[in-house]
Amino acid sequence: MQLQVKMTKMLQLLLRDKNLYFMLLPGLVYFIVFRYFPMAGLIIAFKDYDIFKGIQDSPWVGLDIFREVFSSSDFKDILFNTLLISFYKLIFGFPVPILLALLLNEIRFRFFQRLSQTILYLPHFISWVVIGGIMLTLLSPNYGIAGDIMRLFGVEPFNLLGSRDYFRSILVVSDIWRNAGWGTIIYLAALTQVDPTLYEAAVVDGANKWKQTWHITLPSIAPVIILLLILDIGRIMNVGFEQILILQNPLVRDISDVFETYVYRVGIQRGEYSFTAALDFFKSVVSAVLIISAHRISKRLGQEGLL
């Protein structure tokens, strides 16, 4: 009896808001078709997918494809490259926005501060295709500045983008060039939240700039730094493949191939769908574990969750 009352109440509420549910419909269809169907589509990693038979009629092969993936040298290469390039970008790239924000914050002349900030953000709005195009010219041994500088130091000009020794460093440096400025926004916002009376007290106590930064500023923004660090570690599998896709060339392919660039070349272009879907599957599972862990850790540290 009580259940019935509850049900009618529920039904009334659903009917009252039927228009709101109608509004949701296109969005839900979108999520089902373009987000959930692909998840289901990952089952082709357990099948010998045949384009003509379709997903349903392709034969099951169990874990054969995963065995093939895990024993292949390509898989080891792309996993190693993904982790290494991500790690480099994190180690060298993570501190830069913090430093820039601290220094920007010290500029007294407001107009100059604003202008510097605006210029710092600029490359973030430019596509990797365009940046790649600029880099190809700048770094060209024939007519680029890199070639001129090498000649200046008496080095025979060579193509930096084709060099196995320099390619990964170029990825890291150009990534910092494009994104470090943008990364300062959150730190600058955090810096404005620091209580100014703390600085006044410190000045009375005779603390210099270094001591103020070390004992007041950094501890004040430490929660933000830790949160962003956890967030970045949670995204370590996402290495910024668009940049690599643009700058990559056959000379450095094996040291720069990551999941997406490999999946694009071997899966989409050569049609090895099952093998590359297994790579997609692996990457998705690892990413999910990392994101959930990052979320848990940040909650444990007393931050609001990331999700």
Partner 1 sequence: MQLQTTGNRIFQYSNAVLFVIISIVMLYPFWYVVMFSLSDPSNVSVNNLYLLPNGFTLASYQNVLKSPLIFSGFANTLIITIVGTFINLGLTALTAYPISRNRLVGRVYLFAFIMFTMIFQGGIIPTYLIVRSLGLLDTLWALMLPLAINVYNLLIMMKFFKNIPDSLIEAAYIDGCSDWGVFFRIVCRISGPVFAVIGLFYAVQHWNDFFQGMLYLNNQQLWPLQVGLRNLLIGGQMAEQMGAMETNVSSESFKMASVVVTVLPILLLYPFLQKFFVKGIMLGSVKG
Report how far residue 275's alpha carbon sits from residue 161's, in angstroms, rounded to the nearest whole number. 29
CA 217 to chain centre: 27
Instruction: State the Cα–Cα distance between residues 236 and 91, nearest whole angstrom.
Output: 12
Q: Does 165 bind partner 1 (CB under 8 A)?
A: no
Q: Which stretch binds partner 1 (CB under 8 A): 26-34, 64-72, 75-83, 87-95?
A: 26-34
> Are the C-beta atoms of residues 63 and 46 closer than 8 Å to each other?
yes
Q: Which span (58-66, 80-88, 128-136, 163-171) binds partner 1, by CB under 8 A?
A: 128-136
Which residue of 6, 7, 8, 33 would you call a contact of partner 1, by CB under 8 A? Answer: 33
Tell me which DSSP letter residue 126 carries. Answer: S
Q: Does 251 bind partner 1 (CB under 8 A)?
A: yes
Are the CB atoms for 203 and 279 separated by under 8 Å? no
Which letter, b or e, does each residue of 20-45 get, where b requires 16 or more Cβ atoms within 10 Å of its Cβ?
A: eeeeeeeeeeeeeeeeeeeeeeeebb
The Cβ of residue 85 has, within 10 Å, a number of other Cβ atoms equal to 24
Residues 267-286 that bind partner 1 (CB under 8 A): 267-268, 273, 276-277, 279-281, 283-285
One character per residue 72-111, x = contact with partner 1 (rule: CB under 8 A): ----------------------------x--xx-xxxx--
Write the DSSP symbol of residue 47: B
**Interface residues for partner 1 in 209-248 (CB under 8 A)?**
209, 242, 245-246
Q: Minimum Å distance from CB 122 to partner 1? A: 6
Among 112, 201, 219, 222, binds partner 1 (CB under 8 A): 112
Number of Cβ atoms within 10 Å of the Cβ of 230: 19
Nearer of residues 24 and 91 to partner 1, judged by Cβ? 24
47 φ/ψ angles, rounded to the nearest 5 degrees: -130, 160
| List 53, 143, 201, 214, residue binding partner 1 (CB under 8 A) | 143
> Which of 7, 24, 218, 222 is close enough to bind partner 1 by CB under 8 A?
24
Please give the Cα distance from 189 to 158 (Å, whole number): 43
State in angstroms the smallest separation of the CB of 306 from partner 1. Answer: 10
Given candidates 1, 4, 5, 34, which one binds partner 1 under the rule CB under 8 A?
Answer: 34
The DSSP output letter for 264 is: I
Among 91, 155, 201, 203, which residue sits at the site for partner 1 (rule: CB under 8 A)?
203
Using CB under 8 A as the binding rule, whether residue 142 contacts partner 1 is answered as yes
How far is C-alpha 243 from the chain's CA centre?
Answer: 11
